[in-house]
Amino acid sequence: MRMAYDCDVLVIGGGIVGLSTAYAITRAAPGTRVTVLEKEPGPARHQTGRNSGVIHSGIYYRPGSLKARYAVRGAAEMVKFCAEYGIPHAVTGKLIVATDRSELPRLHALVQRGRNNGIPVRELGASQIEEYEPEVRGLAAIHVGTTGICDFVAVARQLAHGSGAEIRYGTRVVRVDRRPERGVAVLTAAGDVVRGRVLVNCAGLRCDEIARLTGDDPDVRIVPFRGEYYELARPELVRGLVYPVPDPAFPFLGVHLTRGIDGGVHVGPNAVPALAREGYGWGTVSLRELGSTLTWPGSWQIARRHWRYGAGELRRSLSKRAFTQAVGRLLPGVCEDDLVPTAAGVRAQAVLRDGTLVDDFLIREGARTVHVLNAPSPAATASLPIGREVARRALSAL
């Protein structure tokens, strides 16, 4: 008996990666039927819509890594995509500023990494920083000209519109029945069954849960980290984008200043453990999801290795004064009253059993499944090439 398929490719997740995948599939193979299931009432409600809106250049990422390749390529494609569809964007460039002598070797290493990745970089002395940012102070800096900003939610909406896929919002997946010889059948919370030949998992904060529902063992756990932001009450203090020199031991870029496409300046984020997958504040707690984090061996390994770093992030979360002091290293003129709390985001960080924070994009395949298991920043920037890669794998599984 042949299964009656509702679609050829069933995508779970209506963030920018899921929608880019649907968009890429229908362009690579016209006539392929794609259905996207998204549990929220609209697209891009989590990681895509809760970030700084930065089109990353790719300077931070190890040469040859997926992040480096996709970010460099994706940044150029994202600017072109925004221009083609009239989506607000700007190529602003950014400064990465060293404020302590101990950061200078890492700053110089970034210069070399940027050049290895084919990114134009200008080195600046202390006095030259003021050419770009009169209120910013540092010992040295680099200017990265290809960094930009855009409205990623508008990009996601355009991808949804242009894909030709059937997109079902408000559709939460509760069960997956996979039969390698026949395809997949998904049961939704509303009791509907959707059948497809191949399933693509782009569920972001819940991608490991979806992978387990299919019967695949992802061997990683999503550990959610909340990034808390402030908005600058005096946006005139910052012209563009200003970043500290990141610590290469962590996949976080540190508290930075970002003038967004709306003209406001976001300050942040820090990185603290979230108490739920969608824990956008300390008051949001899921005992089940917190238990999932605490029973994963890798979570305890992270705590053991990096407790000093975590304590500093926690202090900045609980103390506005401490957060202001961190910002003041880059922007000495800032005071507590300049920082107005705004919406937080949660990063879906994949963690291995041994406590390793997965640093690169992670895509794995099973029988009739493709799982995107780690796609944090710069995933929005790189979403067009990531979508093509996931689409290629999905189409080969048909």
The string of pLDDT tens digits covering residues 208-219 is 999 999 999 999
For residue 21, give the nearest of 363, 385, 370, 387 by alpha carbon. 387
Place 58 in a pLDDT band, splitting at 50, 70 and 90: very high
What tokens appear for 309 in the block? 């770093």
Per-residue pLDDT tens over the stretch 185-201: 999 999 999 999 999 99
In this prediction, residue 181 carries a pLDDT of 84
Q: Which residues of 362-389 are buried (b: 16+ CB within 10 A; e: fewer)?
A: bbbebebbbbbbbbbbbbbbbbbbbbbb
- pLDDT digits over 30-47, tens only? 999 999 999 999 999 999
Let me know how long the chain is: 398
Q: Which domains, ranges and CATH numbers included, belong to the chain?
A: 1-88+149-219+353-398 (3.50.50.60)
Residue 247 reports pLDDT greater than 90: no
188: DSSP letter: E
pLDDT of residue 274: 96
- Least trusted range by pLDDT, from 119-128, 198-207, 245-254, 382-391: 245-254
Examine the pLDDT at 248 and tell me if it is beyond 80.
no
Q: List, as one string, the DSSP characters of 326-384.
A: HHHTT-TT--GGGEEE---EEEEEEEETTS-B--S-EEEEETTEEEEEE--TTTTTTHH
Check residues 40 and 271 and name the one with the higher pLDDT: 40
The answer to whether 95 and 141 have CB atoms below 8 angstroms apart is: yes
Is 312 a residue whose pLDDT tops 90? no
Residue 42, helix vs strand vs coil? coil
Report residue 309's pLDDT band, with 50, 70 and 90 as the boundaries.
confident
The whole-angstrom separation of Cα 170 and Cα 150 is 26
Closest-CA residue to 270 (of 296, 252, 290) = 252
Whether residue 13 has pLDDT greater than 70: yes
Mean pLDDT, the chain, whole residue set: 94
pLDDT in tens, 219-229: 999 999 999 99
Predicted pLDDT of residue 250: 67
Average pLDDT over residues 72-83: 97
Indicate the pTM of the whole model.
0.94
Q: What is the pLDDT of residue 305?
A: 87
Q: What is the pLDDT of residue 186?
A: 97
> What is the average per-residue pLDDT within 326-334?
95
Going by C-alpha positions, the residue among 151, 148, 123, 125 that lies closest to residue 55 is 148
Question: Is pLDDT above 90 for 284?
Answer: yes
Q: How confident is the model at residue 167 (pLDDT cuts 50, 70, 90)?
A: very high
User: Which pLDDT score is estimated for 251?
Assistant: 61
User: Do strands 220-227 and 54-55 pair parallel, antiparallel, or not at all (unpaired)?
Assistant: unpaired
* Buried b or exposed e, range 83-92, using 16+ CB within 10 angstroms: eeeebebebb
Q: What is the pLDDT of residue 220?
A: 96
Q: Please, where are the H alpha helices in the chain?
A: 16-28, 66-85, 104-116, 129-132, 152-163, 207-214, 287-294, 297-318, 320-328, 383-396
- Tokens 């387990």 correspond to what residue? 212
Phi, psi of 171 (to 5 degrees): -125, 100
Give the mean model confidence (pLDDT) for residues 105-130.
95
| Separation CA 219–CA 371 (nearest Å) | 12
Cα distances from 114 to residues 99, 232, 292, 371, in angstroms, run 20, 29, 38, 30
Residue at token pair 């003129």: 333
pLDDT at position 1: 42
User: Is the distance from CB of 195 to CB of 5 less than 8 angstroms?
Assistant: yes
Instruction: Give bridge partners of residue 35 from the DSSP assignment.
Output: 10, 166
